[in-house]
Amino acid sequence: MAAERVQSITQHLTGSAAPAASIFTAVETIPLDAIFALSAACLADTDPNKINLGIGAYRDNEGKPWVLPVVRKVKKALLEDPSQNHEYLAIDGLRTFTDASAKMILGAESRAVTEKRFLGVQQVSGTGAVRLGADFLKKIKPNATVYISDPTWGNHFQIFGDAGFPVKTYKYWDASTRGLAYDQFIACLQAAEPGSIFVLHACAHNPTGVDPTQDQWKHIAAVIKEKKHFPFFDCAYQGFASGSLDQDAWAVRYFVESGFELFVAQSYSKNFGLYSERCGCLTVVTSSEAQAAAVRSQLCRINRASISNPPAYGARIVNAVLNDKALFAEWEENLRTMAHRIIKMRAETLRHLTELKTPGTWTHITSQIGMFSYTGLTVAQVKVIKEKFHVYMTDNGRISMAGLNEGNVKRFAEAIDWVVRNA
């Protein structure tokens, strides 16, 4: 009895009574993001011949991260510039950067630019730009449905779903041809409720690497206009896909020339190699200068409530390059270096598979474009190639071509050959 009394007094004095029920009791643990889980598994693998084709980041021919020479040059200049500081940027970011970013994707002579009916708002890379656009569209089109390609970048579902939209898919990949399911894509555009939001990949579709032809883009635009859908482009690879900034911007520019209002989420992770600096921009095309000002004010309100204002360092690097002719030309050369190395790895993969007489058709490896390739391997084959050959790729058979180099591309082709024949 005395012991119980002492315990009671101790609990009273120390506040160590039995805790109340936690508000977190019902919170469930969700799985780690599949891409980052794959990267962690590869990192933990001690096999010296492992090949990481999962993460979407450029590697040089030695398999190492590559800091673009033009980026190194600008970083040094910024470090030595006594006028640089760590003050806040404006809520919509560094205006010289966002203006240059918009002109790069739209074209400096675009009517949207010359008529001042465009705007750019800086965000936390392409992911933040997509989310900013999604949150704003939910305010002005609350009852719309968002259509996303099947397959697509996995984060699209989470971003638009978390913004409150119902999300559906449109058929994009044709497994039988390992190309674009064009007729089914068009059928979905025509069947969707008028005024739907269609998320389109501007170039180098992720994960398939399959882009519509220019004639197909024209038909897609015509149907979108007829059905009064809203086009939301996600552009993570301008210049990185083909090596040409203008070529990779063709679809967006065609839509603008055709009179569309639209969003473009731009990322500078891939084409500048600024993965961790989280530098991006949401570019918007409206019908008038007054509308552009109104939309900017609303996007600033959302930015203020979510990130207050964006980070400066990456934007300053990109800004310096986009607004200097000499640096811009050097950057274009860096882009060609990356794009052409990946194109070469596609050709080498196909060459080795051809020499091995690997069953099936593999020309899609070279007809696809950009960082990723949809190999067509099955889930079972992906499991075997990871366990037996230590080749890491996503379960749907998507690979990052940037992970291949002259030292591992033959081994990779041999691994594919084996699983196709035996798994």
pLDDT tens-digit series, residues 175-190:
999 999 999 999 999 9
Q: What is the pTM of this model?
A: 0.92
Q: Which residues of the chain have pLDDT under 70?
A: 1-19
Handedness of CA 96, 202, 368, 387 (dihedral sign): positive
Active-site choice (99, 135, 234, 248)? 234
Q: Find the catalytic residue in 270, 331, 362, 386.
A: 270
Among 10, 249, 208, smallest CA distance to 110 is for 249
Q: What angle do CA 47, 51, 54 make, to 5 degrees?
A: 125
Whether the link from the prior residue into 31 is cis, omega within 30° of 0, is no
- Count CB atoms within 10 A of the CB of residue 384: 17
C-alpha–C-alpha distance, residues 404 and 240, integer Å: 16
The DSSP letter of residue 107 is -
Collapse the DSSP code of 110 into the 3-class scheme (helix H, G, I; strand E, B; otherwise coil) and give the result: coil
- The whole-angstrom separation of Cα 285 and Cα 267 is 17
* 215 part of the active site: no
* pLDDT for res 31: 87
Q: What is the pLDDT of residue 55?
A: 84
76 is a catalytic site residue: no
Contact of 178 with 361, CB cutoff 8 Å: yes
CA distance 253 to 129: 19
Q: Which of 92, 99, 103, 153 is catalytic?
A: 153
Amino acid at 239: G
For 37, residues 6+ apart whose C-beta sits below 8 A from its C-beta are 31
Closest CA to 350 of 416, 422, 398, 418: 416
Give the HSE-up count for residue 68: Cα atoms under 13 Å, Cβ half-sphere: 31
- Structure confidence at residue 36 (pLDDT): 86
| Beta-bridge partner residues of 235 | 266
> Quick one: angle between helices 125-140 and 155-162, nearest 10?
40
Q: What secondary structure letter does DSSP report for 21?
A: P
Task: Please say if 153 is a catalytic residue.
Answer: yes
Nearest to 133 by CA among 251, 223, 231: 231
Relative to beta strand 230-235, strand 262-267 is: parallel
* CA–centroid distance for 49 within its chain: 28
**pLDDT for position 7:** 63
User: ∠ CA(127), CA(79), CA(58), 5° rounding?
Assistant: 40
Q: 122, 117, 120, 65: which is closest to 93 by C-alpha?
A: 122
Q: What is the CB neighbour count within 10 angstroms for residue 191? A: 10
**Tell me, what's the pLDDT at 19?**
63
Give the contacts of 252 (CB within 8 A, at least 6 positions apart): 105, 106, 202, 233, 235, 262, 264
Q: Could you tell me if 133 and 298 are in contact, meaning their C-beta atoms sit under 8 angstroms apart? A: no
Q: Give the three-class secondary structure for 243.
A: coil
51-52 and 173-174 strand pairing: unpaired
Give the C-alpha separation, 273 to 198, whole Å. Answer: 28
Alpha carbons 115 and 119: distance in angstroms, whole number: 11
> Could you tell me which of 171, 206, 209 has the C-alpha nearest to residue 367?
209
Q: What is the per-residue pLDDT across 66-96, written as a single tens digit (0 to 9) for each?
A: 999 999 999 999 999 999 999 999 999 999 9
Is the separation of the CB atoms in 268 and 318 below 8 Å? yes
Taking Cα atoms as reference points, which of 198, 204, 219 lies closest to residue 262?
198
C-alpha count within 13 angstroms, C-beta hemisphere, residue 345: 31
Residue 360's SS3 state is coil
